[in-house]
A and B are shown apart, each in its own frame.
Chain A
């Protein structure tokens, strides 16, 4: 991002460039208004002076010179004949030829023009003409630059303009800073977190105050929405448990064993799905509990449960003896392990689970011997629970949600989950969870 992508810089640039243009325009206009005599009229004037001087007795010369002189035009007569000088610059040659042409009407006499730069910034011309009456007429034409406090006026004007522009820039920064601060604060907005106090609420600038107010209302609406959603889901979950409890008690009256077991399994799946949905929503809302959880204990318990049901699971937790501590929600972490294990068993028939931990993370690796998950579908099956399109849940009858729920819960714990190919031939799921490190 270049500096020009900042609002302050852009407005500043507009101010500065318009100031520069205005300044240049003002200088040009001032120049035009009091443009110095151009060479032609000046040459004519000097020629006229020469002719008057030559036709007048020498004792009157002093008065004529005084009458002709002004602030910009001083004429004097040097007694020595010293009018020769070779023009060195183009402007000098041009002015010399012009004065030469004017003087030609009076008869030829030597003349020269030199251009000098006055120390105060003004430009001076010095005309030297040899008079027929003897001596040299020296005419200095020059505009002495106007100064302000000893500084030439154009420079002073630029400096003043620069100062104004600088002040404008600072004012601009001051006015746009609340917007930058607001943006930073809005970035911190998290409907699930604590309310973010937006900076500059009492801004006297109407637009900024309106913007801050709007963001504040948005923040309240988001938080309200989230709370309502959780409350609704919790309510539904409670009521469905009531219905399923009745159903579960009644289902026992089904005489056929196989039918009864299927009904019981359906009820369990239904409740579990609902639990997962509620858990994932709470995870997304930052409402999970935070406690120190030994992941190795959870893994061992979940593995034992499934082994007791006769499922084939290989466990390798030896590399993380008591060191797999995670700060998180016990139930949620149990759901992660349970979902991944059940998934592996469902698609792969058998599972191998390994737990390792390094300084920063606890890594859970689950391999199965199933068909694996094609690379193109990996991202899709890990879509967060809340963003699942309905078509998929319909297609899989809810059974495929395990990974999505696990992803939501792992995300909420600041961890990551990835899918790879297993050396066993099936899919490999790798879960990384930040390891708890004590800090004061």
Chain B
């Protein structure tokens, strides 16, 4: 007796692509559910539990990025992201969104089927608890426990605002962040909405990092007033 066909939910706003992908997957022996946006996707999810979601990044209404985060919070179903722009790959599979794999449009049928089978075989990354501890330079930061440690085990005391700022930098390492971006990402936690506070926090944070690890020089300033965590960041258990 044959195994139950795997259920694949295709969330894509272009009806033709949706139909073409659906037909392709049916030919390959999958059972396909279709949704055109977040609302109809939620309706389908209320009815069936798919084994894989193929999600378009650019959707009308709630976009794929936000849907992806939302699904991650509740389900452990693997997600294969379809993106129109190759420049978004880093964000799609990176720390921000946590899709399991991606395909850049336009893609060929065989490519799609191969990815679908690979992701199904591998299972969702969401099964493993996400990494929330990161090592950079001489430090280890634990985002959940909100602790910074100078290796091997010297705790570094940071204020709440300083910790938020460092967490923001650590989650986007080696990338130039403008004051505005930093404010956007840390807003809601730090109360003070003034531009200069970022500069002040940065210099206080630098002093503390330098005091704990002299000469480490982890935060660089780039022209036009952006900041950059120069260290490589890797998740640790």
State yes or no: do A and B come from one complex.
Answer: yes
Enumerate chain A interface residues (CB-CB to B < 8 A): 193-194, 237-238, 241-242, 244-250, 252, 264, 267-268, 271, 275, 289-292, 327, 330-331, 438-440
**Can you list 13 A-B contacts (CB < 8 A)?**
A193-B224, A194-B224, A238-B58, A238-B85, A241-B105, A249-B20, A249-B21, A252-B108, A291-B228, A292-B230, A330-B90, A331-B87, A440-B221
- Residue ID in chain B nearest A440 by CB atoms: B221
- List A contacts of B107 (CB < 8 A): 245, 248
- List B contacts of A275 (CB < 8 A): 86
- List B contacts of A264 (CB < 8 A): 108
Q: How far apart are A253's CB and chain B's nearest CB, in angstroms?
A: 9
Whether, in the assembled complex, B16 has its beta carbon less than 8 Å from a beta carbon of chain A, the answer is yes
Whether, in the assembled complex, B29 has its beta carbon less than 8 Å from a beta carbon of chain A, the answer is no
Q: Are A289 and B17 in contact (CB under 8 A)?
A: no
- List B contacts of A289 (CB < 8 A): 87, 175-176
Whether, in the assembled complex, B31 has its beta carbon less than 8 Å from a beta carbon of chain A, the answer is no
- Residue ID in chain A nearest B178 by CB atoms: A290
Whether, in the assembled complex, B24 has its beta carbon less than 8 Å from a beta carbon of chain A, the answer is yes
Q: Are A246 and B174 in contact (CB under 8 A)?
A: no
Whether, in the assembled complex, B217 has its beta carbon less than 8 Å from a beta carbon of chain A, the answer is yes
- List A contacts of B206 (CB < 8 A): 440
- Residue ID in chain A nearest B206 by CB atoms: A440
Q: Which of A193, A238, A241 contacts B106 (CB 8 A)?
A: A241
Q: Are A245 and B105 in contact (CB under 8 A)?
A: yes
A-B pairs, 7 with minimum CB distance:
A290-B176, A292-B174, A248-B106, A291-B175, A245-B106, A244-B106, A249-B20
How many angstroms between the C-alpha atoms of A193 and B219 in the bound complex? 24
Q: Are B228 and A249 in contact (CB under 8 A)?
A: no
Whether, in the assembled complex, B127 has its beta carbon less than 8 Å from a beta carbon of chain A, the answer is no
- Residue ID in chain B nearest A193 by CB atoms: B224
**Assuming A242-B14, A440-B220, what are 10 further A-B pairs, CB within 8 angstroms?**
A238-B85, A242-B105, A246-B16, A247-B106, A249-B17, A249-B106, A252-B109, A291-B176, A438-B220, A440-B221
Q: How far apart are A286's CB and chain B's nearest CB, in angstroms?
A: 9
Q: How far apart are B232's CB and chain A's nearest CB, in angstroms?
A: 9
Q: Which of B90, B105, B109, B175 contacts A244 (CB 8 A)?
A: B105
- List B contacts of A193 (CB < 8 A): 224
- List A contacts of B87 (CB < 8 A): 289, 331
Instruction: Count chain B residues whose beta carbon lies closer than 8 angstroms to a beta carbon of A.
Output: 31
- List B contacts of A244 (CB < 8 A): 105-106
- Residue ID in chain B nearest A332 by CB atoms: B87
Taking CB atoms and an 8 Å cut-off, the chain B residues in 194-237 that contact chain A are 206, 217, 219-222, 224, 226, 228, 230
How many angstroms between the C-alpha atoms of A193 and B58 in the bound complex? 27
Whether, in the assembled complex, B84 has its beta carbon less than 8 Å from a beta carbon of chain A, the answer is yes
Q: Which of A245, A250, A327, A438 contacts B176 (CB 8 A)?
A: A327
- List B contacts of A327 (CB < 8 A): 176, 222, 228
- Residue ID in chain A nearest B23 by CB atoms: A249
Q: How far apart are A178's CB and chain B's nearest CB, in angstroms?
A: 26
Q: How far apart are B51's CB and chain A's nearest CB, in angstroms?
A: 22
Q: Which of B85, B106, B226 contacts A290 (CB 8 A)?
A: B226
Q: How far apart are A298's CB and chain B's nearest CB, in angstroms?
A: 13
- Residue ID in chain B nearest A329 by CB atoms: B87
Q: How far apart are A263's CB and chain B's nearest CB, in angstroms?
A: 11
- Residue ID in chain B nearest A238 by CB atoms: B84
- List A contacts of B106 (CB < 8 A): 241, 244-245, 247-249, 267-268, 271
How many angstroms between the C-alpha atoms of A289 and B226 in the bound complex? 12
Q: Which of B84, B90, B174, B176 contacts A241 (CB 8 A)?
A: B84
Known: A238-B58, A275-B86. A248 touches B108 (CB 8 A): yes
Q: How far apart are A170's CB and chain B's nearest CB, in angstroms?
A: 37
- List A contacts of B108 (CB < 8 A): 248-249, 252, 264
How many angstroms between the C-alpha atoms of A247 and B228 in the bound complex? 42
How many angstroms between the C-alpha atoms of A2 and B228 in the bound complex? 45
How many angstroms between the C-alpha atoms of A267 and B173 in the bound complex? 35
Q: Which of A237, A271, A290 contacts B222 (CB 8 A)?
A: A290
Taking CB atoms and an 8 Å cut-off, the chain B residues in 72-131 that contact chain A are 84-87, 90, 105-110
- List A contacts of B90 (CB < 8 A): 330
How many angstroms between the C-alpha atoms of A264 and B21 in the bound complex? 17
Known: A244-B105, A248-B106, A291-B175. A440 touches B217 (CB 8 A): yes
Taking CB atoms and an 8 Å cut-off, the chain B residues in 26-80 that contact chain A are 58
How many angstroms between the C-alpha atoms of A267 and B111 in the bound complex? 15
How many angstroms between the C-alpha atoms of A247 and B17 in the bound complex? 9
- List B contacts of A267 (CB < 8 A): 106
Q: How far apart are B27's CB and chain A's nearest CB, in angstroms?
A: 11
- List A contacts of B20 (CB < 8 A): 246, 249-250
- List B contacts of A438 (CB < 8 A): 217, 220, 230
- List A contacts of B110 (CB < 8 A): 252
- Residue ID in chain A nearest B112 by CB atoms: A249
Q: Are A246 and B176 in contact (CB under 8 A)?
A: no
Q: How far apart are B225's CB and chain A's nearest CB, in angstroms?
A: 10
How many angstroms between the C-alpha atoms of A439 and B20 in the bound complex? 52
How many angstroms between the C-alpha atoms of A106 and B67 in the bound complex? 130
Q: How far apart are A29's CB and chain B's nearest CB, in angstroms?
A: 64
Q: Are A331 and B86 in contact (CB under 8 A)?
A: yes
Q: Are A242 and B17 in contact (CB under 8 A)?
A: yes
Q: How far apart are A330's CB and chain B's nearest CB, in angstroms?
A: 7
Q: How far apart are B186's CB and chain A's nearest CB, in angstroms?
A: 19
